Amino acid sequence: EAGVAQSPRYKIIEKRQSVAFWCNPISGHATLYWYQQILGQGPKLLIQFQNNGVVDDSQLPKDRFSAERLKGVDSTLKIQPAKLEDSAVYLCASSFARTSGVQQFFGPGTRLTVL
Amino acid sequence: AQTVTQSQPEMSVQEAETVTLSCTYDTSESDYYLFWYKQPPSRQMILVIRQEAYKQQNATENRFSVNFQKAAKSFSLKISDSQLGDAAMYFCAYVRAQGGSEKLVFGKGTKLTVNP
């Protein structure tokens, strides 16, 4: 079974530029999560989708971050314009269902460096 | 708001020996799940073990076991017969059982080094 795919793996941009990350969850997984992991910290949820609807985006900086999940499968996370503090690893995860105890499967992440 | 604290930024263990990683959490919920995730240098987070709060029995998965103390809000991970492949960042995580999103709340992690 293929895992969660993310691209690109690495991205370097200058502040005020825009960037987009792509995630393809495990086939059949209805729930998709984007986490931000700043160096030295644990991941923090940015947004959770159930199919193509948003469940929780309370920690998403909506003035610069946006996310969508077209057709309830792939998802894109965008930052525009980027700030220095956005340097982090962006992790995508998916789970089969919206059940709290169910396992979330993580992708390899995209490491973003903002100069 | 729920919080998860890992007080050991780094730990080391000799190969074949046992090590325990600590985790405490704060919540007003009575029903929830706790997890330990492993993140090797390649950064793909992998589930190690899961504990349901309403179960008194401690979870075990091969060489990995937990000591879950609900009243103390403590959830430690014991790794027995440590192997070189166990070297990684270990994250303790919490998720509420009902209501709202299923977001994982993570601690800051413990970096485990395994010495040959």
pLDDT, tens only, B71-90: 999 999 999 999 999 999 99
User: Which residue of chain B is at minimal alpha-carbon distance from A39?
Assistant: B108
Tell me whether residues B103 and A43 touch, CB distance under 8 A.
no
pLDDT, position B7: 96
Among B21, B52, B26, which Cα is nearest to B37's? B21
How close B33 gets to chain A, by Cα (Å)?
A: 6
Residue A88 near residue A77 (C-beta atoms within 8 A)? no
Q: Tell me how far apart the alpha carbons of residues A32 and A95 are, in angstroms, rounded to a whole number.
A: 7
Does residue B14 or residue B41 have the better pLDDT?
A: B14
Does residue A20 contact residue A77 with C-beta atoms inside 8 Å? yes
Asked whether B82 and B114 are in contact (CB, 8 A), the reply is yes
User: In this model, does residue B32 exceed pLDDT 80?
Assistant: yes
pLDDT at A43: 96
Number of H helices, E strands in chain B: 0, 12
Buried b (16+ CB within 10 A) or exposed e, A82-112: beeebbbbbbbbbbeeeebbbebbbbbbbbb
3 state SS of B104:
coil
Write the pLDDT tens digit of every residue in A33-89: 999 999 989 999 999 999 989 999 999 999 999 999 988 899 999 999 999 999 999
CA distance B111 to chain A (A): 10
Residue A100 CA to residue B75 CA, distance in Å, equals 18
The answer to whether the Cβ–Cβ distance between B32 and A100 falls below 8 Å is yes
Q: What does pLDDT average to over chain B?
A: 94
pLDDT value of residue A52: 87
**pLDDT value of position A1:** 66
Residue A71 has what pLDDT? 86
Residues B93, B35 contacting (CB under 8 angstroms): yes
**For position B30, what pLDDT does the model report?**
87
Phi, psi angle pair for A57, to nearest 5°: -130, 30
Given a cut of 80, whether residue B98 has pLDDT beyond it is no
The predicted structure's pLDDT at residue A31? 93
DSSP secondary structure string for all residues of chain A? ----EEE-SEEEE-TT--EEEEEEPPTT--EEEEEEE-TTS--EEEEEEETTEEEE-TTS-TTTEEEE-GGGS-EEEEESS--GGG-EEEEEEEESSS-TTSPPEE---EEEEE-
> What is the rounded CA–CA span in Å between residue B115 and residue B14?
5
Question: What share of chain B has pLDDT > 70, as a percent?
Answer: 97
- Determine phi and psi for A85, rounding to 5 degrees: -75, -5
**Mean pLDDT computed over every residue of chain A:** 94
Contact B102 A44 (CB under 8 A): no
pLDDT higher at B42 or A5 = A5
Those residues of chain B whose CB sits closer than 8 Å to some CB in chain A are: 4, 32-33, 37, 42-47, 50, 52, 91, 93, 95-98, 100-104, 106-109
Report percent pLDDT > 90 for chain A.
Answer: 86
The whole-number average pLDDT for the span A98-111 is 88
